[in-house]
Amino acid sequence: MEAKRLSEAVAVFTITLTRQQLYELYYEGPEATIHLIEGLLEELADFEQILGQRQQRIIDAQHERNERQAAQLKRVKEKLERQECLNYHLTRRLQELQAELERHEPGEVRRDSHNSSLPPASDPPGVKAQNAVRRTRSLRRRTGRKVGGQVGHRGLTLVRVGSPDRVVTHAPQSCQRCAAVLSDGAVVAVELRQVFELPPVRVEVTEHRVETRRCAACGERTKAEFPRGVRAPVQYDEGVRARATYLHKYQLLPFARTAEAMRELFGCALSPGTLHTTRGRLAEKLVGA
């Protein structure tokens, strides 16, 4: 469009010169002709500059629109993936509930206030009595056995290990009767007690360095490769992400409390945003399963 306008402007400027004016320009000599041509070239350069600026603005605006559309498309895609994962879980839960209902109440089930949204006033007299008994009656049955652990029950307790990881010896310093020093006294008995402890677990940082070496034979430069999964300059490994996902999804900790637990237990300053991104990646991998 801008090029067409430029051509029309040059054409109008040229047409305004009449035949008589062209003859006069011819008789004035080459200087007048050169001056006219220079003026036309200057106007043409101005038009080209204006056209280039407008085209650049159009290109920049189109680039911004493309970026906004790409970002919106990415958000829609992520929303659809989360919705697909949620639909999968809801479908599985619905199937489990239907199977449980068929297992406990086979055949046609009569609807009342106990198993539907009907009001209690609509229940028949027999159903009202059954519901009252159901609400107050305990499901436990008498067995005739005593309360507590039964005879022959194998209790679960800690068992002493044969090779402890660390042994701490506590020796008396002085005799409790005469206060003599016992550094050279003979050991006549040893009593053992074992304490099971969790050592402090802190995050460790591994730095991967990729070298580029020059061949002594041909002079070619060859660069090594980072291990699989090492993609960013600074990142958490899969073990850290797996533990955070376990606390969040299996132990049902919210994002903020999961980040707090990872920071206090392992010294990992994970943010809720990183946990959300990790959950999305794992959900994508588990959609097929």
Residue 186 counted as domain residue: no
Residue 71 domain boundaries: 2-99
For the chain, what is the mean pLDDT? 81
Q: Which of 99, 129, 148 is the last residue of a domain?
A: 99
Q: Which of 64, 99, 134 is the last residue of a domain?
A: 99
Tens digit of each residue's pLDDT (9 = 90 or more) over 128-175: 556 655 555 566 777 777 776 677 666 667 888 989 999 999 999 999
Residue 46 counted as domain residue: yes
Q: Which of 82, 99, 116 is the last residue of a domain?
A: 99
Tens digit of each residue's pLDDT (9 = 90 or more) over 61-87: 898 899 899 999 999 998 998 898 888
Q: How is 136-205 classified by DSSP, letter by letter?
A: HS-S-----PPSSSPTT---------SS-S-------SB-TTT--B-TTPPP----------PPP-----
Residue 194 counted as domain residue: no
Residue 168 counted as domain residue: no
How much is the average pLDDT of 254-275?
88
Residue 36 counted as domain residue: yes
Residue 281 counted as domain residue: yes
Residue 190 counted as domain residue: no
Residue 91 counted as domain residue: yes
The number of domains in the chain is 2
